Amino acid sequence: MTYAIKECFLTLQGEGVQSGARAVFLRFAGCNLWSGREADRATAQCRFCDTDFVGTDGVNGGKFADAEALADLVERLWGEGPEQRLVVVTGGEPMLQLDAALIDALHRRRFRVAAESNGTLAATPGIDWLCISPKAGTQVVQRSGDELKLVWPQAGIDLAELEGWDFRHLLIQPMDGPEGSVAEAIAVAMDRPRWRLSLQTHKMVGLA
Ligand SMILES: C[S@@+](CC[C@H](N)C(=O)[O-])C[C@H]1O[C@@H](n2cnc3c(N)ncnc32)[C@H](O)[C@@H]1O
Ligand SMILES: Nc1nc2[nH]cc(C(=O)O)c2c(=O)[nH]1
Ligand code: SF4
Ligand SMILES: [Mg+2]
């Protein structure tokens, strides 16, 4: 299978339960909830995205002919040094492309595979840490995983409904943008203690 990769880079996980962890980020191109074009943002199903996932022209981006070539890139970016190998597959929407062949190739190189997904597609089997981030107005089919990370505020999302899904960790993350509100995210954590505040720390410290 050919994989379309926007960018691939070594950084620290900036969000969620594993925030602060050294990780190679593998960003797949393309999403099923927005074209990625600004002209389409206002009418997209997901309208607050902070990411450019269009094309394959980012750092180490490109078309990869097979899983081995892509896993080799991830391993090269991790480097020979420290163990505790972690790759975060994201996008765009990674479940459009992530397959068993790539997960297996990464596992054979001793990587734990974490994924960031909008939950509208069933997660590929074999992921070691699954983070689902629901978008209002969409049908979330993946209602189990390790962490549910909700960008807030989003009108039309019922927190009580999400609390009934099968996730070990509930994170509330301030939306970065004109509709965002740190205060409203803090209020959720104060009113509903199962939800913990997730901040986009990479943006605070100047990491990609
Ligand atoms: C860019 S998305 C890619 C993965 C997947 N498509 C998803 O939405 O979960 C990665 C994470 O960034 C979050 N995110 C996107 N735009 C954001 C924004 N403006 N403010 C805060 N978090 C945002 C998403 O909700 C998701 O948790
Ligand atoms: N450092 C860093 N952490 C992240 N956590 C989730 C991200 C994403 O865009 O999927 C992201 C990202 O883009 N950078
Ligand atoms: S679903 Fe994820 S990648 Fe797609 S537009 Fe929304 S935040 Fe961005
Ligand atoms: Mg990001």
Atom of ligand 3 nearest to the CA of 36: 5
pLDDT band, very low/low/confident/very high, at 81 (cuts 50, 70, 90): confident
Residue 185 is predicted with a pLDDT of 98
pLDDT tens sequence across 18-40: 999 999 999 999 999 999 999 99
Q: Report which secondary-structure segment, H or E, holds 201.
A: helix 201-205
Atom of ligand 3 nearest to the CA of 93: 3
Report CA(46)–ligand 1 centroid distance (Å): 10
The SS3 assignment for 194 reads coil
pLDDT tens sequence across 133-162: 999 999 999 999 999 999 999 999 999 999
**CB 113 within 8 Å of CB 135:** no
3-state helix, strand, coil in the chain (%, to 5): 25, 25, 50
Fold of 3-205: TIM Barrel (3.20.20)
For ligand 3, whether the C-beta of 120 sits within 6 Å is no
Q: Residue 50, annotated ligand binder?
A: yes
Domain boundaries, the chain: 3-205
For ligand 3, whether the C-beta of 31 sits within 6 Å is yes
pLDDT tens sequence across 166-186: 999 999 999 999 988 999 999
Nearest alpha-carbon partner for 187 in 177, 179, 197, 178: 197
**CB 162 within 8 Å of CB 148:** yes
* CA torsion angle 142 147 148 153 (round to 10): -150
> Which residue of the set 52, 72, 138, 202 is catalytic?
202
- The Cα–Cα gap between 84 and 92 comes to 25
Full-model pTM: 0.98
Atom of ligand 2 nearest to the CA of 91: 10
Neighbours of 96 (CB within 10 A): 15
Known catalytic residue at 49: yes
Residue 1 is predicted with a pLDDT of 85
- The Cα–Cα gap between 35 and 69 comes to 27
Q: Residue 46, annotated ligand binder?
A: yes
- The Cα–Cα gap between 62 and 70 comes to 10
Report CA(108)–ligand 3 centroid distance (Å): 29
Neighbours of 55 (CB within 10 A): 14
